[in-house]
Each structure stands twice: as C-alpha cells, then as structure tokens.
C-alpha cells in the first residue's frame, strides 16, 4: 500500500531535549516536505527536499533541521525544542514536487 | 508576498444545499492551485490540481474552477460525509517545491 509513515504519532517532551520525527515513503517519490499545522495559522511549510541531498527552507525553518540521505526518508530534527514548537506536524511526498502531495497521518508534538 | 486566502472560515449547510468555497491568491508565477480535503485527526487528502485560468475539474459532488485571481470549490447537493476541512494550496514557478496553503474552510453538512 502506498503510504507516508511518520513516527512517533504522539510525543510529549521537555524544553531542550533533542528529538527526531521520522518520515518514510514507499512510492519512490523524489519530493518530500514537512509542514506544521496550528489553529488559525493553517499548514506552514518548514523544509522541503526536491531530491536526495537537496533540501531547502520553507516559510518557518527556524529551530528545525532536516536531512535527505536516502530517497525514502526525510527526518525532522528538533535540536533544542521549545514550547512554541508544540504543534501538529505533517510529512508529505510527491512525484517531482508536482504538488499532488501524499500526506502522513501526522505527529502531535507537545513541548513542556 | 505570496498569499492564499480562503473563505468562508466555516460553512454549515443542510444536506442537498449546494454552495461554493473560495480560494483567492496573490502569487507571482503560479505553477498550480491544489485542493485538499482534511478529516479530523488525519492528513490532508489530494482532490484536484488546476493549472490555468478557465480550467475545471470534477469529482462526484465536487467541482473546482480557476480564474486568474481565485479558485472555487463548488459542492452540489452535499451529503453529511462531505463534512471536512477543505484546503487550497499554491505551488510556484519561481521556487519549485515551495508551497503556500490557505487556512481552510470547515464544512459541516447536516442531515
């Protein structure tokens, strides 16, 4: 089954404790992207990757890191999480960044 | 600044009562305008892609149209299962890969 898998789905952590949210897709898509969704602010793009070893900033990259060492994986790293990074995070992928995105189920992160 | 604005924020309809959702955009070099459906607790699900003014796409009770400044999602004779949040998004020619989403319209269809 074609899918984008995110882990963990739910996480409560404390300020400053490094964490990684993993994202994996099985559709051989070149393009992957991370978004955060907050009430009243909609979906905002954090980082995206057009292909392996190619990443670029979206609208809200501060406090986040990404890497794209393999085509199928695009982890989101929070080196020192802060409470303003409490949010619902979505990973998405598409064939060549066409915009017809396949989204994961989301990861709800709470930073205390 | 590139912006995508959706209206209304929320829409409540009776079953069978047709209506339209609006997505206006102020972007330079629009590559494509996309519509997604999002159910509570789920990731958005792709519905339509529109590339040029005058284009229309249909799927069951939904029809998406595009002009040079806005897109409409028309819902004909909606059913309760059409209740969801509908998102529109723009992708750009100038910066391939970058996207801007609207805040969404939450549609509730009552039986």
Q: Band of the pLDDT at B82, cuts 50, 70, 90?
A: very high
Q: How far apart are CA B86 and CA B22, in angstroms?
A: 10
Q: Which residue do the tokens 């829409």 mark?
A: B11
Give the residue from chain A lying closest to B85, CA to CA.
A42
Q: Note whether B36 contacts A48, CB cutoff 8 Å.
A: no
Of B32, B41, B42, the CB nearest to A99: B32
DSSP A84: G
Chain A closest-CA separation from residue B52 CA (Å): 15
Q: Pick from A7, A4, A33, A10: which is nearest to A21 by CA?
A: A7
Per-residue burial over B19-56, b if 16 or more Cβ lie within 10 Å, else e, is eebebbbebeebbbbbbbbbeeeebbebbbbbeeeeee
Give the mean model confidence (pLDDT) for residues B52-56: 94
Q: How far apart are CA A54 and CA A50, in angstroms?
A: 6
Q: Pick from A85, A62, A86, A89: which is nearest to A75 by CA?
A: A89
Q: Band of the pLDDT at B30, cuts 50, 70, 90?
A: confident
Residues in chain B within 8 Å Cβ distance of A41? 103
Q: Note whether A101 contacts B102, CB cutoff 8 Å.
A: no
- pLDDT, block means (10 residues), chain A with 112 residues: 95 96 96 94 93 94 97 97 97 86 96 96
Chain B contact probe: residue of A5, A43, A95 with most B CBs at under 10 A: A43
The residues that bridge with A24 in the sheet, in sequence order, are A5, A73
Residues in chain B within 8 Å Cβ distance of A101? 34, 36, 44, 46
């Amino acid at each position: 089954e074609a899918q984008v898998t995110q882990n963990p789905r739910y996480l409560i952590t404390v300020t400053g404790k490094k964490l990684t949210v993993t994202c994996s897709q099985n559709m051989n898509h070149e393009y992957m992207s991370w978004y955060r969704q907050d009430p009243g602010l909609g979906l905002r793009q954090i980082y995206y990757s057009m292909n392996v070893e190619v990443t670029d900033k979206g609208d809200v990259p501060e406090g986040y890191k990404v890497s794209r060492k393999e085509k199928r994986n695009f982890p989101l790293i929070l080196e020192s999480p802060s409470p303003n990074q409490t949010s619902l995070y979505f990973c998405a992928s598409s064939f060549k960044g066409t915009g017809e995105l396949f989204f994961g189920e989301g990861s709800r992160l709470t930073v205390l | 600044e590139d912006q995508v604005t959706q209206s209304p924020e929320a829409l409540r309809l009776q079953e069978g009562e047709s209506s339209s959702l609006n997505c206006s955009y102020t972007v330079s070099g629009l590559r494509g305008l996309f519509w997604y459906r999002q159910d509570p607790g789920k990731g958005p699900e792709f519905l339509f892609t529109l590339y040029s003014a005058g284009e229309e796409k249909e799927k069951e009770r939904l029809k998406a149209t595009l002009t040079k400044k806005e897109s409409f999602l028309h819902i004909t004779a909606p059913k309760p299962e059409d209740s969801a949040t509908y998102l529109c998004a723009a992708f750009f020619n100038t910066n391939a890969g970058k996207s801007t989403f609207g805040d969404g319209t939450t549609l509730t269809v009552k039986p």
